[in-house]
Amino acid sequence: MGFLSDFKSFALKGNVMDLAVGVIIGGAFGKIVTSVVEDIIMPVVSFILPGDLTFAQRFWVMKNPKPEVDLKSLEEAKKVGATVFAYGHFFQTVVDFLIIAFCIFVMVKAIEKVKLKADEAPAPAPPAGPTPTEQLLAEIRDELKKRG
């Protein structure tokens, strides 16, 4: 029973739960970025470039085992076993990565800025010393204790 209780205390620690939340949010954020790239950015790039293919479908055939088959799409090329350089899909994945990396960079910078402001917060002022009147009264009290 010790193993299960140790695992339970480990799994319910704050750091593990924070990590789990981060992974879930990161996965959802990744899907959003992928959608932005696939549905917004790449269609514009495909519109600008000549040809009928979407950018993710752009490829270069390095070796075609069936030269009689005209390979018009990446799926067709993969079906016949052609060796292809799928640069469109790779470029799309790189754009995904760059957007995610930039967002993480901005978040880390914001967190560092907040931490820096917290570290620069002025230290609480030291308690003020006794006033001259309080000092005189303390001296009188001490003198009375000595005599009394």
Q: What is the chain's mean pLDDT, rounded? A: 84
For the chain, domain boundaries? 2-122
Q: Summarize pLDDT for 97-119 with one digit per residue, the tens.
A: 899 889 889 988 988 888 887 77
Whole-structure pTM over 0.85, yes or no? no
What's the rounded Cα separation, in Å, for the pair 35 and 41? 9
Q: Name the percent of the chain lying above pLDDT 70.
A: 96
For residue 141, the model assigns a pLDDT of 92
What's the rounded Cα separation, in Å, for the pair 16 and 69? 54
Strand ranges (DSSP E) for 11-147?
60-63, 83-85
Please state which CATH number belongs to domain 2-122: 1.10.1200.120
